[in-house]
Amino acid sequence: MQAQRKASVSPMKKPHRSPVESKIKRVTKISISDEIAKQIMDLISRGELKPGDHLPSERELCKDFGASRSSLREALRCLSIVGVLNARVGEGTSVADDGEKFLRKIIEWRLITERHDIENLLEVRMALEGVSAANTARHATTEQVEELRKLIAKMKASLKDEKTFAALDLEFHVAMAEASGNELVSDLIALVRGQLLKALHKVLVVPHALPLALKEHSAIFDAIERRDTDGAREAMQKHLLAHLMRYNAANRNGNQADAKGNGKKSIRVVESDAARLNVAKTEKPRVQKLPPLGTAVAVGQSNSIAAK
């Protein structure tokens, strides 16, 4: 009789599982939150989770991962901090619509935690800002060109104010990057430049640094105004090469002053470097041309540029 009752009981139906849940594996590693975050990133990279998609509820995810709610929340919080996920009260957790914040955080963290010398960072700027200048010459609107013209005029009026000039210098490069029409290049330039600001204030102590920088920025602007893509790229590379030379001159100035305690001799060294830079203005720039727009540019190619 008992056996008949068991036979008559229908088997329980398994609960419905979403496509995403069916891809989740039970967590077995020691760092549970790390493994959860890795699996979610893998689902996004494979297209199983797309921008804007909502994740299953916490209860469902805990069951699928075989993890506690605290471990799940830690993983989701980490992915939200770097911009992979958006968590909103009452709406649940979803995949971010764009990866701009994530890309920025990852690159910024690498730049902060790894040691990079100034020359390497300037080489990256040469590659990025050369393309940016060429794109600006090609794509900038009339209003954007006029904005750059006004910045050049303000820089000219601020030659005796190093702090104001430096701020305008930064504003010029940012405005040019935005006018280039490539948001990714613009973001990368901002990140690299941000890491250079702390060290490059030394450049301002070099005699005639501000007039030279104004002349270089004016050459970049003139090429952009003429819609000369190659000219804008070369003018930008020449400016950054001169910037590196001024930085090295200022660095030698500081080192010699510390070693000998004789600032006057160091100043003469810097002045000779500045004079050499001024003479170089009259010579044909030795700038290596980058490949035309639309072709891949390897950062390593700029090594030969900085060596000159």
- Predicted local confidence at residue 216, as pLDDT: 96
**59 C-beta neighbours (distance < 10 Å), count:** 10
Check residues 221 and 244 and name the one with the higher pLDDT. 221
Greatest alpha-carbon pair distance for the chain in Å reads: 110
Check residues 189 and 222 and name the one with the higher pLDDT. 222
Overall number of domains in the chain: 2
Average pLDDT over residues 66-91: 88
CA nearest 271: which of 261, 285, 256?
A: 256
- Domain range for 290 is 104-307
Average pLDDT over residues 153-170: 91
Q: Which residue has the tokens 């700038």?
A: 287
| CATH number for 38 | 1.10.10.10
- Predicted local confidence at residue 51, as pLDDT: 87
Same-domain pairing of 169 and 71:
no
- How does residue 190 score in pLDDT terms, banded at 50, 70 and 90? confident
Average pLDDT over residues 209-215: 93
35-39, 133-137, 142-146, 202-206: the lowest-pLDDT one: 202-206
Q: How large a percentage of the chain has pLDDT more than 70?
A: 63
Same-domain pairing of 113 and 161:
yes
Same-domain pairing of 89 and 116:
no
Report whether 53 contacts 90 (CB < 8 A): no
In a domain, residue 5? The reply is: no
Average pLDDT over residues 71-87: 88
- Predicted local confidence at residue 21, as pLDDT: 65
Same-domain pairing of 122 and 271:
yes
| CA atoms in the 13 A half-sphere facing the CB of 21 | 15
For the chain, give the mean pLDDT: 76
| Structural domain ending residue among the three candidates 54, 69, 98 | 98
| Structural domain ending residue among the three candidates 33, 68, 98 | 98
Same-domain pairing of 59 and 196:
no
pLDDT, one tens digit per residue, over 235-269 is 999 999 998 888 887 777 665 555 555 444 444 44
In a domain, residue 1? The reply is: no
138-142, 151-155, 164-168: the lowest-pLDDT one: 164-168
| Structural domain ending residue among the three candidates 83, 98, 113 | 98
